[in-house]
Amino acid sequence: MENGNKRLAVLVGCNYPNTPHELNGCINNVLAMRDVLVKRYGFNHNHIELLTNAPGSLVMPTGANIKKALDQMLKKAEPGDVVFLQYSRHGTKIPSAKPGHPFRQDEAVVPCDFNLITELFGADASHKFNIHPHELDSSESLRTEEGILLSGCQANETSADMNPMMTGGKAYRAFSNAVQMVLKDHLGSLSNKEVMLLARKSLEAGDFAQHPCLYCSDENAYAPFLWQPQGSGL
């Protein structure tokens, strides 16, 4: 399925156990996605870096380890490769440190050591990872780039956990579970936009208040999710 190009992934799941911020489904999310990547999208196990704070985990999702894993993945990547990051965890907003923006807030991801990461890819990073919003009702003109991001909710919302009674006794994050169910029910190639819209429809049917968003160029909105070739569904 790789056709000479590598498929690389970093999967980060952080449940924050025994803290006031504890989540339940993040680790199950990334384990389920790892299976999807290998079985459906042709990823090699050796090209998937898994970081979770499950008991006995080999690599904990600390701020330093996440940055190291991403840096190593990007150093391996070459033109034509597929690079995938899943980050199932808490996010937050902090006052911007950039001059001239006194009221701006920057988004940050929250590793298991609560060492906030405000910038995964610096100013010198490849343009392919500088991503912009592609929303159905967006009127803002944005520069076209190559990065693609599916987010579980809008910036002013929070992403929910699934009730384990709804998922065979296992806890999952609602959006990640919706994406995996969409892929299970549609074995043919789906565009990034189709995955997002179908996941949003699934969440609405389950009475979840969050609204998933797709951030990318118009061109990539219609590109196959994870560049699955036509007719390669299992």
DSSP character string of 35-46: HHHHHTT---GG
Greater model confidence, 232 or 70: 70
- Last residue of some domain: 125, 145, 176? 125
Same domain, 111 and 135: no
Structural domain contains residue 234 = no
Nearest to 199 by CA among 186, 189, 188, 187: 186
Same domain, 55 and 148: no
Nearest to 136 by CA among 204, 221, 224, 210: 221
Same domain, 33 and 84: yes
Quote the DSSP letter at residue 228. Answer: P
Same domain, 147 and 103: no
CATH number at residue 2: 3.40.50.12660
Same domain, 157 and 175: yes
Same domain, 117 and 28: yes
Same domain, 121 and 154: no
Percent of the chain scored above 70 by pLDDT? 65
Number of domains in the chain: 2
Residue 43 contacts residue 5 (beta carbons within 8 Å): no
Same domain, 7 and 98: yes
- pLDDT tens digit string along 19-53? 666 767 888 899 999 999 999 999 999 999 999 98
Q: How far is CA 159 from CA 55, 98, 152, 210, in A?
A: 24, 27, 6, 6
User: Average pLDDT of the chain?
Assistant: 76
- What is the reported pLDDT for 2? 44
- What is the reported pLDDT for 122? 42
Percent of the chain scored above 90 by pLDDT? 37
Q: Report which secondary-structure segment, H or E, holds 198.
A: helix 192-205
1 confidence band (pLDDT: 50, 70, 90): very low
166 confidence band (pLDDT: 50, 70, 90): low
- pLDDT tens digit string along 78-121? 998 999 999 885 444 444 555 665 555 555 444 444 444 444 44
